[in-house]
Chains A and B, each alone.
Chain A
Amino acid sequence: MWSLKKSVWVFHVNTGACNNCDIEIVDCLTPKFDIERLGIKLVGSPRHADALLVTGGVTAQAAPRLREVYRQTPKPCIVFAIGACACDKGIFTTGYHMVGPVDKIIKEVDPNAIIAYVPGCPPKPEAIISGVLKALAVL
């Protein structure tokens, strides 16, 4: 686990988000927040990632893709549920096309998965950064 604590590489998965959580994640990269200074880096493939940043409440069409992405991520890895949707489907709870939330889908693949939650709609970049760092601290 200690290997995860420094310089976490993250892969971003959108499973039916409204786009805001995603924009705030990308925002973390840009000059005002600049998470790369903390060693956190967005990567283009789950196979390179130490952590998944999952947004959205998981639609029926996205669920199989999320499972697949989780399978492809090297273990051990951490799953971050970013935003109210990812944590518990948020405002879309009653939608007929929603099969999430994220922890339910991930636990179908791996009941022992490590999942951290960052609530907010959308969580501010500061909240995302602090959530990631707090989770790393307790590992």
Chain B
Amino acid sequence: MNQQELNNKLSQIKAQLISIEQTADNRIYLSCEARNAYAVNKFLFEDVPLRFVIATGIDSDDCFEVIYHYAYDEIGCIINLKVFIRDRENPQLESIAPFLPAAEWIEREIHDLLGIDFKNHPNMRRLILADDWPQGVYPMRKEMDAKIARGWTCETSSRPAPESPARRTVPLGKPILPVGPFHPLQEEMEFFQLTTDGEIVTDIDMRISYNHRGIEKISESLQFDQVPYLVSRICGICSASHPTAYVNAVEEIAGVTPPDRARYVRTIICELERIHSHLLWVGLAGHFIGYDTVFMWAWKYREPVLDLLEEITGNRNNYGNVKVGGCREDIPDEIVPKMLKDLDEVEKKTEMLTKAVLDDPVLHARLKGVGTLSKEDAIRYAVTGPTARGSGIAIDVRRDDPYAAYADLDWNVIVQEQGDVFAKAVVRLLETLESVKMTKEAVQKLPKGPIAIEVKEIPPGEGCGHGEAPRGETFHYVRSDGGNRPIRHKVRAPSFVNVPSFRASCIGQHIADVTITLAAVDPCYSCTERLAVVDAHGNIVRDYEMLLQASRDKTAQMQKELGWPGLKLEDLQIG
């Protein structure tokens, strides 16, 4: 479907809309009243069909707005549906989660932060705010601005917390397995509660909030130029992707394009980030199934990449290198030869790791068919990144809606059909090699010229920026009123949609496979480090060490069955 056909399709629902507006080639804004929202959303998701990205709740002065963001990846188009809720006293919307599970979490989040009620939501419990957060206090409402500025925190409030449990209660007698709570991503620090029947997982429930820092609200108090420093600290390991997506959005509002050299520098930083992030993942995945050597080696190979980043930006992580209109630090020409040499080295080591994984019969036996996420579920949960590409969905923002210098470079999108842990591992490993190749090309082609243009004012307007982070699409929506701060800044990190897909991939799995299934999405490592199986009376019957041991024993057992002496890195060609 090209843009014209998409527009024709969208005009089929014209009667239910207030307006259709096309602000750029690939940005469409629709708007409608609250009563039509359900039907229009259903049409967009099921009939067009579009990929659900996220929804943004906004407190506009006279009404509440909920913006549903969708993407049509074939042409890289973002379609935003603005819904106006005029009743401020009793804001209500029909939930779309019954047909679109990907919307379940965000509706709960909007309910927590803005107090909008979603009718017929299958699971409306607290998601993002602390258990003891006072009832009826909605931090994203404008009336809270002054209080928060005066230092209000939930601890100083005298209002009572709600009585309804934020965790799902499980009938007595069923063994449950809590995983968590500590896990260090933006909104995605989780507590998992697995219900088990013998060794099989029968249900999974998640609780996040532990890591909720209120970044979207803090962002409204910062100037446009300060926000990149904040958003690079959403998730340390995506600290290039988030600011890049944010400046994409702001540059869209301001209508500026960064100079060529800046586009290349951004690409190089983003790709170096992907390389070290994927290597980090390979190491952790090795650790979970008992290949500790892989853990140590992969993390060792990652160091030169961090050193390069430090040399360019001044920090191993949290680079703060992008700004609206370009980049802050240039890549000095002197270090180009060293970069190329180091990248060659990284490439060799990654090839070695890839070969080790693809050739190891134990890994095939251990990871194939484990934690499978089918293509249908991947679409319903709207997953992105390697999690989607491992399930046969060929989406990649770098290709679909190119930003930075991706359109100028020669690279491939890696896709695997099976959807299991092995497929995701293969996607990440091959992707790392693509990234190394791409980075080398970008370094060689690095154009001359300035790295930034001056952007004086951000006009009123709204923009959507997205980018392909190591874990998937990060999406930023920014609205400006012409002042020097964003009046609304919505962030969706990839794990926010990838993590709920555990419901589809973990149920029916063996307990011994849970650690690796969770890790396959690469939500981050900490959650799996605090893990215990508790029986219905709250007694710990298994802790993290034992679960890890179960996972490792399973690998060892398979090694024995296959008569395989185990992976010996010494035997492999190491350069």
B235 near A60 with CB under 8 A, answer no
CA distance A62 to B233 in the complex (A): 18
User: How many residues in A have their beta carbons less than 8 Å from beta carbons of B?
Assistant: 41
State the main secondary structure of chain A at its contact with B: loop
* Inter-subunit contact B280/A23 (CB<8 Å): yes
Q: How far is the CA of A10 from the CA of B89 in the complex (A)?
A: 51
- How many residues does chain B have at the interface if contact means C-beta atoms less than 8 Å apart? 56
User: Are B212 and A97 interface neighbours, CB within 8 A?
Assistant: yes
A97 contacts B132, C-beta separation under 8 Å: no
Mask of A13-47 contacts with B, CB within 8 angstroms, 1/0:
11111111111101100111000000000001100
Q: Does A2 contact B (CB under 8 A)?
A: no
In the complex, the answer to whether B211 meets A59 with C-beta atoms within 8 Å is yes
Q: Which A residues are CB-close (under 8 A) to B214?
A: 92, 95-98
B218 within 8 A of A: yes
Interface flags, A71-104, vs B, CB<8A=1, else 0: 0000000000000000000111011111100000
Contacting residue for A60 out of B130, B148, B543, CB 8 A: B130
Query: A18-B234, A30-B296, A44-B544 in contact; A98/B213 too (CB < 8 A)?
Result: yes
Is residue B435 contacting chain A, with contact meaning CB distance below 8 A?
no
Interface 9-mer from B34-42, B177-185, B345-353, B476-484: B177-185
Q: How far is the CA of A18 from the CA of B303 in the complex (A)?
A: 20
Closest residue of chain B to A42 (Cβ to Cβ) is: B529
By beta carbon, the residue of chain A nearest B166 is A61
Q: B130, A20: Cβ atoms under 8 Å? A: no
Determine which of A16, A91, A94, A99 lies in contact with B211 in the assembled complex, contact meaning CB atoms within 8 Å: A16
A19–B296 contact, CB under 8 A? no
Question: Bound complex: CA of A58 vs CA of B295, how far in Å?
Answer: 29
B35 vs chain A, min Cβ distance (A): 32
User: How far does the alpha carbon of A31 sit from the alpha carbon of B218 in the complex, in Å?
Assistant: 38
Given contacts A32-B303, A61-B209, contact A19 B237 (CB under 8 A): yes
Q: Does A119 contact B (CB under 8 A)?
A: no
Complex Cα–Cα for A60 and B189 (A): 13
Q: Could you count the A-B residue pairs with CB atoms below 8 Å apart for me: how many are there?
A: 149
**B318 at interface, CB cutoff 8 A:** yes
Whether the Cβ atoms of B234 and A14 lie closer than 8 Å is no
Which listed residue, B139, B239, B296, touches A96 by the CB 8 Å rule? B139
Whether A18 contacts B184 by the Cβ 8 Å rule is yes
A124 at the binding interface (Cβ < 8 Å): yes
In the assembled complex, how far is the CB of residue B165 from the closest CB belonging to chain A, in whole angstroms?
14
Query: B303: which A residues are within 8 A, CB to CB?
Result: 30, 32
Whether A97 contacts B544 by the Cβ 8 Å rule is no
B217 at the interface (CB under 8 A from A): yes
Contact call B543/A92, Cβ cutoff below 8 A:
no
Which of A13, A56, A99 has a CB less than 8 Å from the CB of B155? A99
A124: nearest residue on chain B (CB-CB)? B316
- Is A60 within 8 A of B218, CB to CB? no
**How many angstroms between the C-alpha atoms of A19 and B184 in the bound complex?**
5
* Residues of chain A contacted by B185 (CB below 8 angstroms): 19
* B256 within 8 A of partner (CB): no
Determine whether the beta carbon of A17 is less than 8 Å from that of B148.
no
Question: In the complex, what distance in Å separates the CA atom of A27 from the CA atom of B276?
Answer: 12
Closest to B149 in A: A94
Once bound together, how far apart are the Cα atoms of A9 and B14, in whole Å?
Answer: 65
Q: Does B133 sit within 8 A of A, measured CB to CB? A: yes
Structural contact, B235 and A19, CB atoms closer than 8 A: yes
Are A121's CB and B211's CB within 8 A? no
Collect the chain B residues with CB atoms within 8 Å of residue A32's CB.
300, 303
The one of A27, A57, A65 in contact with B213, judged by C-beta atoms closer than 8 angstroms, is: A57
Knowing A18-B234, A59-B211, say if A65 contacts B181 (CB, 8 Å). Answer: yes
Instruction: Assess whether B215 is in contact with A44, with CB atoms less than 8 Å apart.
Output: no
B213 and A61 within 8 A (CB): no
Which chain B residues border A91 with CB–CB below 8 Å?
218, 229-230, 233
Q: How far is the CB of B155 from chain A (nearest CB, A)?
A: 5
Docked Cα-Cα span, A7 to B242, in Å, equals 39
Quick one: which of B460-477 are within 8 Å of A by CB? none
Asked whether A59 and B144 contact (CB < 8 A) given A14-B183, A95-B218, the answer is: no
B29 at the interface (CB under 8 A from A): no
Cβ–Cβ < 8 Å partners of A20 in chain B: 233, 236-237, 239, 317-318
Bound Cα distance from A39 to B183, whole angstroms: 26
Q: Does A99 lie within 8 Å of B526, measured CB to CB?
A: no
Decide: B210 and A65 in contact? CB cutoff 8 A: yes
Cα distance, A124 to B307, chains bound together (Å): 11
Contact between A61 and B218, CB atoms less than 8 A apart: no
Cross-chain contact A96 with B211 (CB below 8 angstroms)? no
- On whether the beta carbons of B213 and A22 are closer than 8 Å, the reply is no
A60-B132, A60-B133, A61-B130 are known contacts. Are A14 and B526 too (CB-CB below 8 A)?
Answer: yes
Tell me the bound Cα distance from A17 to B213 in angstroms: 9
B-side contacts of A94, CB under 8 Å: 148-149, 218, 221
Enumerate B172-209 residues with CB–CB distance to A below 8 Å. Answer: 181-186, 189, 209
CB-based contact B129/A31 at 8 Å: no
Q: How far is the CB of A95 from chain B (nearest CB, A)?
A: 4
Chain B: minimal CB distance from A19 (Å): 4
Within the complex, what minimum Cβ distance (angstroms) separates A106 from chain B?
15
Minimum C-beta distance from B561 to chain A (A): 29
- CB-nearest residue of chain A to B209: A61
Residue B545 at the chain A interface, CB threshold 8 Å? yes
Any A CB within 8 A of the CB of B131:
yes
Docked CA distance A31–B154 (Å) = 43
Instruction: Specify which chain A residues have a CB less than 8 angstroms from the CB of B3 in the assembled complex.
Output: none
Out of A17, A98, A121, name the residue touching B153 (CB < 8 Å).
Answer: A98
Bound CA span A30–B304, Å: 13
Interface residues in B90-106 by Cβ distance below 8 A to A read none
Measured between alpha carbons, how far is A14 from B235 in the docked complex, in Å?
Answer: 13
A-to-B contact residues, CB < 8 Å:
12-24, 26-27, 30-32, 44-45, 55-57, 59-62, 64-65, 90-92, 94-99, 121-122, 124
Q: List 25 A-B contacts (CB under 8 A).
A: A13-B182, A14-B189, A15-B182, A17-B236, A18-B184, A18-B186, A19-B236, A19-B237, A19-B524, A22-B184, A23-B236, A23-B280, A57-B213, A60-B130, A60-B155, A61-B181, A65-B182, A91-B230, A92-B213, A95-B215, A96-B139, A97-B139, A97-B153, A98-B214, A121-B318
What are the 10 A-B residue pairs with the smallest beta carbon separation, nearest first? A20-B236, A60-B130, A61-B130, A30-B299, A95-B214, A19-B184, A19-B236, A61-B209, A18-B233, A20-B317
Interface contacts beyond A44-B529, A94-B218: sample of 6 additional A-B pairs, CB < 8 Å, sorted by A: A14-B526, A21-B236, A62-B210, A65-B210, A96-B153, A122-B318
